Amino acid sequence: MPKRRVLFLCNANSARSLMGEALLRQMASDRFDAFSAGSEPDEPHALTLEALHKQGLSTEGLRSKSLDEFEDEYFDFVIVLCDKAQQVCRDWQGRAREVLFWDIRDPRLISKLDAYEQALLEIRRRLQLWLPLHADDQSRG
């Protein structure tokens, strides 16, 4: 049975969506292929990579990508992590089985020292709630 494909989407693909990609790969790579992209991609933020390393998450292969790279691809789930990307993502409804909107605050805009760790924790918590809902996806085909 093929793995389900998940695309995490945010504006810059420099923090939140990269975190989602890295987390899902660690938490359920046996069931899901994780990807991330941005509507206006930038470089991976150094504090994003630092937060991932602190949590023991692999950053191998993580890079900022444009949504255009996935233009003709189908995803079982697109998880939009910010309001700005949600506006751009409306076109994805036809290429995804399900589109979810998780508005996670952009850690780049928060002056607290642990903003990146907090964003990572919030995305992990949401995935911990979401993954059990799709535990039997493989059997549905």
pLDDT at residue number 137: 59
Q: What is the pLDDT of residues 121-133, one digit of tens each?
A: 999 999 999 999 9
pLDDT at residue number 72: 84
Helix (H) or strand (E) holding 73: none
Helix (H) or strand (E) holding 6: strand 4-10
Q: Which two tokens mark 129? A: 């709630």
CATH assignment at residue 69: 3.40.50.2300
| Predicted confidence (pLDDT) at residue 27 exceeds the cutoff of 80 | yes
Per the CB < 8 A criterion, the answer to whether 27 and 3 are in contact is no
Give the closest residue to 19 by CA, choosing from 43, 1, 36.
36
Percent with pLDDT over 70 in the chain:
90
CA-to-CA separations, 62 to 15, 22, 86, 99, 139, in angstroms, rounded? 11, 8, 22, 22, 30
Three-state DSSP class for residue 37: strand
Distance CA 132, CA 31 (A): 12
**Domain containing residue 60:** 4-140
pLDDT at residue number 139: 44
Query: Could you tell me where the DSSP H helices lie in 29-134?
Result: 46-54, 83-89, 115-130
Q: What is the pLDDT of residues 46-89, one digit of tens each?
A: 999 999 999 999 999 999 999 888 988 999 999 999 877 667 76
Domain count, the chain: 1
* Other C-beta atoms lying within 10 Å of the C-beta of residue 110: 13
What is the arithmetic mean of pLDDT over 30-46?
Answer: 94
User: pTM of this prediction?
Assistant: 0.91
